[in-house]
């Protein structure tokens, strides 16, 4: 029988622009290797102070809308007390308060149970740090 707990780390390069990166296929591949048809929970966690995990529709503009909304709420200017890095970088440290660094999702019969248009995404507004890790953990 497969272990009740399995974990794996994804290593991603997000580039020099703000991104919403779809991780759904990575989550499904991880579950195919570890869940073995079982029910349980998938936890997706990004251990960075300037990135988050969101469940949203992608490809129809919602990912760009999310980045626009973050810009409207958290402008990249000099108002932030946290002042190292690129101009306005302090806002990146506030992003995880709005887009949390984790999501816990249901797994039924070894498959990720998402709605029709839902995707699991890494939201990264920090253009100064291109290297990201995401931990996937299955408990079931």
pLDDT exceeds 80 at position 2: no
* Mean pLDDT for the stretch of residues 10-21: 94
Reported as a single tens digit per residue, the pLDDT across 26-53 is 999 999 999 999 999 999 999 999 999 9
Whether residue 1 has pLDDT greater than 80: no
Q: Which CATH number goes with the domain that contains 62?
A: 2.60.120.460
Split into its structural domains, the chain has a count of: 1
Question: With contact defined as beta carbons under 8 Å apart, do 58 and 104 qualify?
Answer: no
Integer Cα distance of 25 and 107 in angstroms? 14
pLDDT category, 11, cuts 50, 70, 90? very high
For 62, the domain range is 5-139
What is the mean predicted confidence (pLDDT) over 83-92?
86
Burial 9-24 (b: 16+ CB within 10 A, else e): ebebebeeebbbbebe
pTM, full prediction = 0.95
Give the ranges where 80-134 is alpha helix by DSSP (H): 95-98
């Amino acid at each position: 029988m497969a272990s009740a707990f399995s974990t794996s780390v994804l290593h991603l390069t997000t580039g020099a622009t703000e991104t919403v990166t779809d991780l759904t296929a990575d989550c499904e591949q991880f579950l195919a290797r570890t869940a073995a048809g079982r029910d349980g929970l998938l936890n997706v966690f990004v251990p960075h102070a300037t990135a988050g995990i969101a469940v949203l529709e992608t490809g129809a503009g919602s990912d760009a809308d999310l980045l626009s909304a973050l810009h409207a709420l958290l402008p990249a200017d000099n108002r932030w007390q946290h002042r190292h890095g690129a101009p306005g970088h302090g806002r990146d440290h506030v992003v995880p308060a709005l887009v949390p660094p984790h999501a816990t999702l249901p797994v039924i019969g070894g498959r990720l149970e998402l709605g029709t248009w839902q995707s699991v995404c890494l939201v990264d507004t920090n253009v100064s740090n291109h290297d990201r890790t995401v931990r996937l953990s299955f408990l079931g």
